[in-house]
Amino acid sequence: MVRSMTGYGRKDDSRGSLRLTVELRAVNHRFQEILVRLPKKWSMLEDQVRKLVAQYVRRGRVDVTISLEGSASSSNTLDVDWNVAERFLQLAREMDQRFSLETPMSAKDLLMFPGVIHTKEAEEADGEDVAVWLLDLVKDAAEDLLSMKTAEGGQLESDLNSRLLLIQSWLEEIRLLAPAGTEEYHKRLEQRLSEWSTQASFELDPQRVAQEVVFFAEKSDISEELTRLHSHCLQFRGQLEKEEAIGRKLDFLLQEMNREANTIASKANHLRIQHLAVEIKTELEKMREQVQNVE
């Protein structure tokens, strides 16, 4: 299955006063490279985030940006230490009895004593929950990215297959035209020698003509190049069906295919074959541009 190296994934979610956003941007790169930007407080999750995203990326560079907005102070909770409050109240009553005081204590008075009330940051209390929340959102964003890469990869695969079919049809035409090149050369050689023989005092040697034709046939034989190019086309199509990173292999195959097309164009002494070889090279160049984006 072909997947593109470029894509974008984003997910965001809110919990109380906190808002978490995860963005993934994938671009072309020769190898797999994942860069993670996390809030400083959650930097210890960087390795986990990288490994998680790596499960969805076979090749290419991915920039992972994670932002956590909102203040933990707005999520602070107030707790009363009832044991401390009761101890202060008990001491106040004992002082009233000992010194015959009449100063009843109110709740407001109790709240003024140190240790009776204290704050608790919800974010710190639920740090483990936030980490799980963050990793879950990274996974959702990575799946969003993968969906886009797969959709674009499907379009790339369709385009590459259509161009490959076109090249294979031209190869078949070249295969049928190849013998005609030798026959045309044979006729041209006989015609020229016949014209020369009318002006020169020598006879046409059929055996020598046959030797020249055989020499030309060997020199212009493109059967091996056609076989190799056809084999490369089959390998190329086979790679498109694999569940792995295939971009670099496809690029190598295209280089080999272009080399064979060049040889065909230079060896074939046939105008139509040379024209078809140029057409093949043009399509190969277009395919190579597309393959640069294949994961």
Q: What is the pLDDT of residues 204-217, one digit of tens each?
A: 566 665 666 556 55
What is the pLDDT at residue 73?
40
Delimit the CATH 1.20.140 region(s) of the chain. Answer: 151-291
CATH 1.10.10 fits 151-291, yes or no: no
What is the pLDDT at residue 169?
96
What is the percent of the chain with per-residue pLDDT over 70, rounded to a whole number? 80
CATH 3.30.230.70 fits 7-72+126-148, yes or no: yes
In eight-state DSSP terms, residue 17 is T
pTM: 0.69
Delimit the CATH 3.30.230.70 region(s) of the chain. Answer: 7-72+126-148
Whole-number Å distance between alpha carbons of 128 and 45: 11
What is the pLDDT at residue 194?
61
Beta bridge partner(s), residue 60:
32
H-only helix segments in the chain: 46-54, 82-99, 107-112, 122-125, 127-199, 206-219, 223-240, 247-267, 271-291
Cα angle for residues 55, 28, 246 (degrees, 5° grid): 65
What is the pLDDT at residue 71?
56
**Spatial CA neighbour of 263 closest among 226, 215, 217:** 226
Q: 150: burial class by Cβ within 10 Å (0-12, 13-18, 19+)?
A: middle
What is the pLDDT at residue 151?
96
Q: What per-residue string of b and e applies to 155-175 under the rule 16 or more CB within 10 Å gives b?
A: ebbeebeebbeebbebbeebe
What is the pLDDT at residue 160?
97
* Residues in the chain, pLDDT under 50: 72-75, 122-125
